Amino acid sequence: MKKKELYSARFSRSNRTFFFDIKETVSGIVYLQISESKLIDDKFEHQRLSVFAESLDNFIDELAKAKFAFRKISEKRHSEKKRKNQKS
């Protein structure tokens, strides 16, 4: 028996496409599968990450923290670069 797909969404940027799929195993276990497909030298490379129900809340919490830190770091670097360019 095959895995059942319950939900699917995707978005593309540049040469990468990201997929967010909710699937169900043959034994009825539901999980989130995040996949990345990217074009490299006329071939597609695929990466996959599966997150099961018992880890989903923690995964999303840590992802939100990483998003916040990422934005903070990016803003800081942007400000530093702007100040450096103004001095030149």
Over range 58-73, report the average pLDDT.
97
Tens digit of each residue's pLDDT (9 = 90 or more) over 10-64? 999 999 999 999 999 999 999 999 999 999 999 999 999 999 999 999 999 999 9
Residue 82: strand, helix, or coil = helix
pLDDT of residue 87: 75
- 6 band by pLDDT with thresholds 50, 70 and 90: very high
Q: What number of residues does the chain have?
A: 88
Question: Identity (one letter) of the amino acid at 60?
Answer: I
**pTM over the 0.85 mark:** no
Contact present, 10 and 17 (Cβ < 8 Å):
yes
List CB contacts of 46: < 8 A, sequence separation 6 or more.
35, 36, 37
